[in-house]
Amino acid sequence: MPKILIEDWSLIPFREAWTRQEQYVREIQQGIRSSTLIFCEHPSVLTIGREGGEHHVTVDPDVLAMQGIEVIPINRGGDITAHNPGQLIGYPLFNLSEFREDLHWFLRSIEDITIQVLEEYGISSGRVDGKTGVWIENERKICAIGLHCSRWVTSHGFALNVYNDLSIFETIIPCGIPDKEVTSISNEVGNMIDMEDLKEKCRKAYYEYFK
């Protein structure tokens, strides 16, 4: 049996997913649920991590409200980012005591897996010194990562741009970094990506990495 379970919540509002995450985390802490990786997508929303602030929102809140885009401060690490349909969200709710009690190692593991999966699409990616996430040519961010950890159980996770509308990132300074671009898998390869195929690649990679 694999050490981790994987669930797909499909398209789900951010606040609903956050509530469900917190319930799963409590169950993992109580030992009544295994470590679980959640895949999902969110309707358009901006989330601000502990190192961020609303000063990195570049559009008037009233304009965002008219577009139905909520701005939500949350308890993950990192700065501000955007989510919308066509972006693969991964929430690894893992008991690190079963793997390694090292949050830095876990974050780098998520980066490693993402880099590996992108290679299957012919995309060469990597890290940028001093920054989290996965980047193309050190200039274009394709995957944002922000984690929270309580009693060695993680929550929140990664946001991998697949074929989502990247114009949403024009409403913010992504991750608080003004001089870098944002990209997606579809942008890099020049065609539409099958989300279910991507999820299957990610499933295999996570099962293999955390076996």
Which residues are annotated as catalytic? 175
DSSP state of 86: T
Nearest to 157 by CA among 83, 85, 62: 83
d(CA 88, CA 102) in angstroms, rounded, equals 25
d(CA 87, CA 193) in angstroms, rounded, equals 11
d(CA 51, CA 75) in angstroms, rounded, equals 10
Per DSSP, the three-state class of 140 is strand
Cross-strand bridge partners of residue 95:
153
